[in-house]
Amino acid sequence: MKPLADCKLYTFVDTAYLHSRTPESVAQQLCDGGSDIIQLRAKNSSPDEVRRMAEKILPVTRRAKIPLVINDHLEIARELGAEVCHLGQEDFFDAGFKHVSELKTKNSKFKIGLSTHAPDQAVRALAAGPDYIAIGPVFATGTKPTAKPVTLEYVRWAEANVTIPWFAIGGVNLQTLDAVLAAGAKRICVVSAILNAPDIAKACSEFRKRIDQT
């Protein structure tokens, strides 16, 4: 599996953007397009549905040697042996956790990512020892319509202050990508700009090409 530090293009199998495609076929196209890491995000699905989708996606990502991230569902991620679980601020801190070591077994290679939406949240998250953090939403995004954009200022802050791997997320498309990269981001999360494309693999490869040029 590629180390998180070497993962530059973070993509999603988001059930809000499947458009009648199966999760595993979307995952395959993301792999074909050059994704480094893939998250299963299924906000309106039951735990059983998430488990079934993950079971179908895991063989795809493992063949490609790409880590699979399960969003929110820690127990499912651990049970199925997914490489990573991503948690929001409320899923981690509001649940009473203080350090990611509380979620890992001894000698576990299982990794935890945390969302952050401001420098103070990043400082708190970093103290909790995650393997990576997400910085965003950088721009307004339909994926999280109620979330206030953190702007490129937060990206610049992260570039200057965060030493572990971090990913810029939120409203990143081929029109905004260059500005995000110029602000210091080296790792990018892309959701709708890839999943809404008629050819997912092609869209993914476009981002891959642009990121690799920096």
User: pLDDT tens, 180-193?
Assistant: 999 999 999 999 99
Nearest to 190 by CA among 39, 45, 73: 39
Chain-centroid distance, C-alpha 191: 9
20-31 tens-digit pLDDT: 999 999 999 999
Whether the predicted pLDDT of 1 surpasses 90: no
Count up the domains in the chain and report the number.
1
Q: What percent of the chain has pLDDT over 70?
A: 98
101-133 tens-digit pLDDT: 999 876 678 999 999 999 999 999 999 999 999
Coil/strand/helix, residue 84: strand
* Beta carbons within 10 angstroms of residue 6's beta carbon: 11
At residue 149, the pLDDT reads 86
At residue 107, the pLDDT reads 62
Q: Check which CATH number belongs to the domain holding 179 and give it.
A: 3.20.20.70
* Domain ranges, residue 36: 4-212
Q: What percent of the chain has pLDDT over 90?
A: 86
Q: Read off the amino acid at residue 41.
A: R
